[in-house]
Amino acid sequence: MADIEHYLQAATKNNTRRSYQFAVDHYEVSWGGFLPSTADSIARYLADQAEVLSINTLKQRLAALARWHQDQGFPDPTKAPVVKQVLKGIRAVHPHQEKQANPLQITDLEKIVIYLDKQIQQTSQRSILLPLCRNKALVLLGFWRAFRSDELTRLRVENIIIKTDIGLEIFLPQTKTDRNNQGTTYHVPALSRLCPVNAYQDWIDLALLTEGPVFFGVDQWGNMNDKGMHSNSVIPLLRELMQKAGLSNTQSYSSHSLRRGFASWANANEWDLKSLMQYVGWKDTKSALRYIDINSTSAKERIESALSRETIQVDTPYEITHQNDKSQPQTRLQLQLNISNMSKYTRGIKRTREKIEFHCLRSYQMKKTDNDKRYEVIIPHDSEEDLNDCVETLLFEMHSIADNNQCILEALFSNQETGQVWE
């Protein structure tokens, strides 16, 4: 039983487990609810907290309560229609604009690197060189690979392969969107300037790293913490670098500024949505809707061609493989799409439909078969599981667009040949 408990604990991330427990305690202790609960009680809880908590926090509380009922073998009251309607009403009455970190622009990235290079050239003292080289590798890897702070601090030397003049191959055993813990492999291109590969090579050569965490804490005497950096230390480190490099308003930046900075840069240089999502690792369009593309060239070619327009010279292309096999099986699906306003005070049906058609359906050979209610799409896939994942992702993206535009969406995909239905 001890082994079973060990693996059950490992199936859920520590942060998720702690936040779920806090949510359950808040519902039961602070608010005075009873578990197992009813849908009406959950709805009253949402209504009471609507003016106190953000919509994202409320959704997290619902997820925690749903998980508690599932784990205890009780029916899940959070899926009841009354709960969903109350949540939609809260979103309509209390619209919330999510705060986002200021994206780090390519020109500001270069200012940081110029500052670090200048400091590196002016010293030969190892205790000073170590944090400078580490910071340069961290910033460039974080930007060009659009890593989150926790992903940066969990990089391990033994999981990174250096391919000379090509790039890095990085394996992360676990990421935020890797629900099944299968691990994810990332490719980082070697660039002619602002190169993350050279910066990484210089750092591990100087620090004599052969295994363990890539990024260590370094004290003023050059001693390295063998446990590696904590993700919470990335934000103050970046803000300090930005300040020293002459950037203003540094408090508006966070570790997420590297990720958003790359996405903004890719958008400005015409990356398409699908390729950007694949490269960055997004599973839904909520974070990537503004980043659209018209072609599908490799990541290296895009980076280098854009850098050349910014007076940076470009050389050898770097291939990143995209799944674009013309012999890949395809399935023709019918889509029935009904969109209505969430309330009489909202008018977003036309905008919602246009966004769904452009961001979700356009790349799947969309064809209208009945005005604005029925469509035909062609989904390429490698397996039935791949087809299911693709359709479920499309449904999630479409519902996200509808929610963001204060609309209610009813969507149903169907396979006329097999009779299979997704909704």
| Whether residue 170 is found in the same domain as residue 123 | yes
Average pLDDT of the residues in 374-384:
84
Which residue, among 145, 108, 326, has the nearest Cα to 238 in the 3D structure? 108
- Report the pLDDT value the prediction gives residue 313, as an integer from 0 to 100: 39
Q: Which contiguous run of DSSP H or E holds residue 71?
A: helix 55-72
The sign one gets for the Cα dihedral 243, 249, 253, 257 is negative
User: How far is it, in rounded angstroms, from Cα 260 to Cα 186?
Assistant: 18
Structural domain including 386 reads 330-422
- Report the pLDDT value the prediction gives residue 392, as an integer from 0 to 100: 81
Residue 411 — pLDDT band, cuts 50, 70, 90? confident
Q: Which residue has the higher pLDDT, 115 or 52?
A: 115
- Report the pLDDT value the prediction gives residue 315, as an integer from 0 to 100: 41
Residue 101 lies inside a defined structural domain of this protein = no
Mean pLDDT over the full length of the chain: 79
Which tens digits make up the pLDDT trace of 46-89? 898 888 888 888 888 888 898 899 888 899 998 888 988 988 88
| Whether residue 64 is found in the same domain as residue 180 | no
Residue 241 lies inside a defined structural domain of this protein = yes
390, 379 contact by CB (below 8 A): yes
> Any alpha helices (H) in 208-272, and if so which ranges?
234-244, 256-268
| Whether residue 178 is found in the same domain as residue 248 | yes
- Report the pLDDT value the prediction gives residue 177, as an integer from 0 to 100: 59
Query: What CATH number is associated with residue 212?
Result: 1.10.443.10
| Model-wide pTM > 0.75 | no
Which tens digits make up the pLDDT trace of 196-220? 999 999 988 888 888 889 888 877 7
| Whether residue 296 is found in the same domain as residue 247 | yes
Which residue, among 333, 312, 88, 273, has the nearest Cα to 193 in the 3D structure? 312
User: How far is it, in rounded angstroms, from Cα 118 to Cα 93?
Assistant: 53
Average pLDDT of the residues in 135-143:
91
Which tens digits make up the pLDDT trace of 239-265? 888 899 888 888 878 877 888 888 888
| Whether residue 370 is found in the same domain as residue 393 | yes
Q: Which residue has the higher pLDDT, 421 or 14?
A: 421
User: How far is it, in rounded angstroms, from Cα 36 to Cα 28?
Assistant: 10
User: How far is it, in rounded angstroms, from Cα 133 to Cα 152?
Assistant: 15
Least confident of 17-21, 113-117, 199-203, 351-355: 17-21
Number of domains composing the chain: 3
| Whether residue 295 is found in the same domain as residue 356 | no
> Any alpha helices (H) in 251-348, and if so which ranges?
256-268, 273-280, 299-309
Residue 121 lies inside a defined structural domain of this protein = yes
Which tens digits make up the pLDDT trace of 263-317? 888 877 877 777 778 787 776 665 566 444 344 345 666 676 666 665 443 343 3
* φ, ψ of residue 158 in degrees (nearest 5): -70, -15
421-422 vs 407-414, strand pairing mode: antiparallel
Which tens digits make up the pLDDT trace of 12-48? 555 677 778 888 888 888 888 888 989 999 899 989 8
3-state secondary structure of 404: helix
| Whether residue 137 is found in the same domain as residue 278 | yes
3-state secondary structure of 348: coil
> Among the three residues 278, 309, 340, which one is the final residue of a domain in this structure?
309
Above pLDDT 90, what percent of the chain?
8
| Whether residue 88 is found in the same domain as residue 114 | no
| Whether residue 84 is found in the same domain as residue 117 | no
Query: What CATH number is associated with residue 64?
Result: 1.10.150.130
Residue 404 lies inside a defined structural domain of this protein = yes
**CB atoms inside a 10 Å sphere around CB 290:** 12
Which tens digits make up the pLDDT trace of 149-174? 888 888 999 999 988 778 899 998 86
Residue given tokens 């540094």 in the structure block: 250
| Paired residues of 185 in beta bridges | 171
User: How far is it, in rounded angstroms, from Cα 191 to Cα 188?
Assistant: 9
Is residue 320 predicted with pLDDT exceeding 50?
no
Residue 98 — pLDDT band, cuts 50, 70, 90? low
Residue given tokens 């809260």 in the structure block: 90
Residue 8 lies inside a defined structural domain of this protein = yes
Amino acid symbol at 247: L
| Whether residue 145 is found in the same domain as residue 294 | yes
- Report the pLDDT value the prediction gives residue 279, as an integer from 0 to 100: 82
Residue 321 — pLDDT band, cuts 50, 70, 90? very low
Residue 172 lies inside a defined structural domain of this protein = yes
User: How far is it, in rounded angstroms, from Cα 328 to Cα 160?
Assistant: 31
Residue 315 lies inside a defined structural domain of this protein = no
Taking phi over 0 as left and psi of -120 to 50 as alpha, with beta for the rest, 383 belongs to beta
| Whether residue 151 is found in the same domain as residue 243 | yes
